[in-house]
Amino acid sequence: MEEKIEDVLKEYPIAFTGRKRIRGAILLEAEDAIYTLTNYKESTRRLLFQEAVKAQLSENGYPYVDLGIPNNRGELLTRDGQGNRMLLRQWFPGRECNLWDRNDVYRAAAHLAYLHNLLQGFQIPSEKAVILPEDFYGRRGDLSDEDGEEESFLEAASMAGDAEQTPAADIGTEDVAPRGDEGAKEDIEGAVQGQEIQKSLKKRKNEMKHAYNYIRRKKRKNEMELCILQQFQHFFEQAQEAEGCLERLDISGMLEQNIRQGSVCHGSYNYHNVLLDDQKIITTNFQNAELGIQINDLYDFLRKTMEKNNWNPKLGTVILEAYRKTRALKREEAQLLYILLLFPEKFWKQINFYYNGKKSWMSGKNYEKLLKIAAQEGDRGKFLQEAKGLLF
């Protein structure tokens, strides 16, 4: 293994002085910088889109992103002895955002708004000649995959990092013929359909109902099943309300407008991917970056932080105010954020996990999570009321 890594590192014009394994990567030290080396498994177009997003941030004055580093041939991907495609990225020292530290949370929320401002008006690179900033790469990107399949940049920009793809081409210098206006129109429509929030909420609501009906028909029920039945009506009504509110919102129009305006979402803005020190904030792991409604990032960060903090209403207010001080929310964005918060995602996850899992035994861990969800619901309800007052 060490020999294979050495062979990969020889492909870069960098004198590495140390290395150690970290979660999902190898951390590499050089005299004046640090890097990470990972096995890249997504499509080359996804990589080019991600790197173009990070390049826009850097060009707009925010350099603290994990840009890919080209090898001696000017390529972003380097194969090891087993044919794996390895990606070297610049890295920064820092600690993960502490979701239990109000100052950290405030900084991270304000920073997200700052990123969203910088990620407006993203220009999708031309398929005929994708030229990435020479400061970073020096050469054009090859958009062709060895299997011969074409994937437009707009499709790649809306796929949110499909790990099931297994393209093999490294990034080199060849062109791909443009698809023209009709192809671009089809891509936009496909992206809107691919990100359809309305369909997702309806599907999850139906999954809740299927699990409930299954448990009701059982003659003998364990403690967890009885707990689900007890909580179900309350959360199902929230799911119905969220779905009804979403139907009155032109979500498809919002998606299409945001895609046409070049609004980019980070896609995984959580405490693992936000590193802080006293002077700056580093944003990493743009694998799920996509064109779409940016408020989804705020929802993900807000919900996960609130769950960790027992839905503390005051903390939720801090997050919303921190974000809105840097980036104002449009009326439809505020409505969508509230709808997403209203939907009982945590309860859906637990009930769906139960329904799709082994039912001959009861998971003590999941039963505890259900009890915790019920215990937090009072504070969650208070936060939803405060959020409604702040957002509307």
Question: C-alpha distances in angstroms, 214 versus 16, 130, 371, 388?
Answer: 58, 52, 20, 34
Which CATH class, in words, describes the domain spanning 193-391? alpha beta
Question: C-alpha distances in angstroms, 97 versus 54, 262, 263, 301, 306?
Answer: 20, 28, 25, 11, 14
Instruction: Considering the chain, tell me which residue range(s) the CATH 3.90.1200.10 domain(s) occupy.
Output: 193-391
Hey, what are 91's tokens? Answer: 């890295």
Q: In what order do the strands lie in the sheet with 281-283?
A: 95-96, 274-276, 281-283
Give the pLDDT confidence score for residue 160 in this predicted structure: 45
Q: Could you count the other beta carbons within 10 Å of the beta carbon of residue 115?
A: 22
Strand partners, 91: 34
Burial of 9 (0-12, 13-18, 19+ CB in 10 A): buried
Q: What's the longest Cα–Cα distance across the chain? A: 68
Hey, what are 290's tokens? Answer: 């996509």
Burial of 211 (0-12, 13-18, 19+ CB in 10 A): buried
Task: Chunk the chain into consecutive blocks of 10 residues (it has 392) and report each block's average pLDDT, rounded to whole numbers.
Answer: 82 93 90 94 89 94 96 93 93 95 97 97 61 35 41 53 37 32 40 62 95 94 94 97 94 90 94 93 94 95 96 96 96 96 96 87 89 96 94 86
**Closest-CA residue to 310 (of 388, 225, 372):** 372
Give the pLDDT confidence score for residue 185 in this predicted structure: 41
* 178 within 8 A of 150, measured Cβ to Cβ: no
* 379 within 8 A of 313, measured Cβ to Cβ: yes
Name the pTM for this structure. Answer: 0.82
Give the pLDDT confidence score for residue 154 in this predicted structure: 54
**Closest-CA residue to 370 (of 234, 241, 237):** 234
Report d(CA 321, CA 327) in Å as an integer.
10
Using only the alpha carbons of the chain, give its radius of gyration. Answer: 23
The residue whose two tokens read 């590499």 is: 28
Give the pLDDT confidence score for residue 191 in this predicted structure: 38
Task: Say how many CA atoms lie within 13 Å of 1 toward its Cβ.
Answer: 2
Give the list of residues 6+ apart from residue 206 with CB closer than 8 angstroms, or none. Answer: none
* 226 within 8 A of 297, measured Cβ to Cβ: no
Instruction: Considering the chain, tell me which residue range(s) the CATH 3.30.200.20 domain(s) occupy.
Output: 2-95+125-180
Given CATH 3.30.565.10, say whether it is the number of domain 2-95+125-180. no
